[in-house]
Amino acid sequence: MQELSILILHGPNLNLLGKREPGVYGTVTLDEINQLLEREAEALQVKISPFQSNHEGALVDAIHAAMGQHQGLLINAGAYTHTSVAIRDAIAAVAIPTVEVHLSNIYKREEFRHHSYIAPVSIGQISGFGAQSYWLGLIALVNHLKKPV
């Protein structure tokens, strides 16, 4: 069996983690989240490829490029979660098992954040656990991918 490969996508403004609204998003930086995911990926014996962009088209392009390269997608689309039909359609088109994650609990925030275009094309969603949302999402995705068919 080939080693599983997971694409990790970080959406807009996540490059500012640690500085941006620490009361909402915490003080952990994006580099620290990626390091946490690298350690967990090693323990789970999977490969990860993290990518961050503030541009919707770049995220869509990364999702398209994942087809045939990655077996799973872990995504925090940030604000695009609530606005991007293009990202939703890209995930549906490539049909790669996807887990949506959020640092904050989007359901305890502004009303416009309560809707996700990504959730209906994902196998699951984890929110509200800070950086651990990514960790939990990676574990859940890998367990899903490794379960017997």
Question: pLDDT tens digits, residue range 27-37?
Answer: 799 999 999 99
* Residue 19 φ then ψ, to 5°: -115, -35
Helix (H, G, I), strand (E, B) or coil at 85: helix
End-to-end CA separation in angstroms for the chain: 14
Binding site annotation covers 54?
A: no
Give residue for tokens 């990676």. 138
| Residue 49: band (very low, low, confident or very high) from pLDDT cuts 50, 70, 90 | very high
Q: What does the pLDDT look like over 92-131, one tens digit per residue?
A: 999 999 999 999 888 777 787 789 999 999 999 999 999 9
Do strands 98-102 and 124-127 pair parallel, antiparallel, or not at all (unpaired)?
parallel
Concerning whether 55 is annotated as a catalytic residue, the answer is: no
**Does 116 count as an annotated binding residue?**
no
Closest CA to 122 of 79, 85, 73, 84: 73
Res 131: pLDDT: 93
Task: Provide the pLDDT confidence category of residue 2 given band limits of 50, 70 and 90.
Answer: low
Confidence (pLDDT) at 111: 84
Q: What is the pLDDT at residue 117?
A: 96
84 marked as part of a ligand binding site: no
Cα(4)–Cα(31) distance, integer angstroms = 22
> Whole-angstrom Cα distance, residue 52 to residue 16?
11
Catalytic residue among 70, 80, 102, 117: 102
Q: Residue 10: give its domain's CATH number.
A: 3.40.50.9100
Q: Which domain holds residue 82?
A: 5-146
> Average model confidence (pLDDT) for the chain?
93
Give the Cβ contact number of residue 29 at 10 Å: 16
Q: Decide if 102 is catalytic.
A: yes
Q: Domain tally for the chain?
A: 1
Which of 15-24, 90-99, 133-142 is the least confident region?
A: 15-24
